[in-house]
Amino acid sequence: MTPRFTRIASYGALVAGSLSLGASSLLAQAQAKGQTPAAPASAADLVTMSKDVNQWVMPGRTFDMQRHSPLSQITTANIKTLTPAWTMSTGTLRGHEGNPLVIGNVMYVHSSFPNKVYALDLAKEGAPQIWSFTPEQSADAIPIACCDVVNRGTAYHPSGKIYIQLLEGSLLALDAKTGKQIFRVKNADYKKGETMTNAPMVVKDIVFAGISGGEFGVRGRITAFDANTGKELWRGYSTGPDVDVK
């Protein structure tokens, strides 16, 4: 099988010391005549999209969250020949966790606080930036995070939305094509020791968002939001009686 692109993406450090995201190709990066659509018509297509080895459409690539890629171009024999194809700095020098998403020919990159999101065009040489979004949030949330101000990643909905959880406690939805904010809803309160560092999960038309803060004795929970409107659908707690499930 010949993929549209041979891609590897990882978070790393530039020689100068700034954190960056690098992408390397084994032999050559070639654009095919046809491009994978960036936004299928229905949410059910997310399962189909995850079967395309040239895309990475959810944090764990597939719903089993194995983060395994079946691509076979890189082997133990040729890995020593890999060289950087391009680099891109996120502009933040704190820890980076999670991985980019690849939807069609666009790579979506996130950063640690302040949780910037970037869209990069993989169809062009050097993967130039299409758009970037920096959410406004209080720096007062920084000392509340127990284990650095990291973020585990973004999620995608086939209607064309990118979601990211903000450290201060909000779930943010962006237009995947333009980077414009679609909605922002509150799910945690950093003033109570609650933060949001994990990656959201999209299942059909629902976005699931959890919270962090167990180190400070917060009551953990997971909240389900309407993927299109941001309306809270229900909330379940990790401890306590079933009656507390809203």
Give the Å distances, CA to CA, from 151 to 85, 134, 166, 214.
25, 14, 8, 16
Q: Would you place residue 110 in the very low, low, confident or very high pLDDT band (cuts 50, 70, 90)?
A: very high
Q: Would you say residue 43 has pLDDT above 80?
A: no
Least confident segment among 20-24, 59-63, 117-121, 171-175:
20-24
What CATH number does the domain containing 222 carry?
2.140.10.10
pLDDT in tens, 9-32: 333 333 222 333 333 332 223 333
Contact 156, 57 (CB under 8 A): yes
Q: Is the peptide bond before 40 cis (omega within 30 degrees of 0)?
A: no
Query: What pLDDT, on the 0 to 100 scale, is given for residue 38?
Result: 43
Query: What pLDDT, on the 0 to 100 scale, is given for residue 213?
Result: 85
Is 46 part of a structural domain of the chain? yes
Residues in the chain: 246
Q: Would you say residue 65 has pLDDT above 80?
A: yes
DSSP per residue, 11-50:
EEE-TTS-EEEEEEESS-----SS---SS-SSTTHHHHHH
Is 49 part of a structural domain of the chain? yes
Return d(Cα 6, Cα 19) in angstroms, integer.
23
Is 3 part of a structural domain of the chain? no
Q: Would you place residue 42 in the very low, low, confident or very high pLDDT band (cuts 50, 70, 90)?
A: low
**What value does the mean pLDDT take over residues 211-218?**
83
Q: What is the dihedral of CA 197, 199, 200, 203, to 10 degrees?
A: -160
Return d(Cα 198, Cα 200) in angstroms, integer.
7
- Per the structure, the count of domains in the chain is 1
pTM of the model: 0.81
* Spatial CA neighbour of 84 closest among 16, 12, 18: 12
Query: What pLDDT, on the 0 to 100 scale, is given for residue 79?
Result: 95
Q: Would you say residue 126 has pLDDT above 90?
A: yes
Query: What pLDDT, on the 0 to 100 scale, is given for residue 44?
Result: 60
Contact 118, 88 (CB under 8 A): yes
Least confident segment among 40-49, 53-62, 180-189:
40-49
pLDDT in tens, 78-102: 999 999 999 999 988 888 898 999 9
Q: Would you place residue 41 in the very low, low, confident or very high pLDDT band (cuts 50, 70, 90)?
A: very low
Domain encompassing residue 45: 8-244
Return d(Cα 62, Cα 110) in angstroms, integer.
19
Query: What pLDDT, on the 0 to 100 scale, is given for residue 157?
Result: 96
Is 110 part of a structural domain of the chain? yes
Is 194 part of a structural domain of the chain? yes
Neighbour tally for 72: CB within 10 Å? 8
Task: Give the distance from CA 184 to its chain's centroid.
Answer: 16
Neighbour tally for 10: CB within 10 Å? 12
Contact 151, 112 (CB under 8 A): yes
**What value does the mean pLDDT take over residues 170-177?**
98
Is 2 part of a structural domain of the chain? no
Residue 8's Cβ-count burial label (10 Å; 0-12, 13-18, 19+) is middle
Query: What pLDDT, on the 0 to 100 scale, is given for residue 218?
Result: 86
Return d(Cα 118, Cα 116) in angstroms, integer.
7
Is 85 part of a structural domain of the chain? yes
Q: Would you say residue 145 has pLDDT above 80?
A: yes
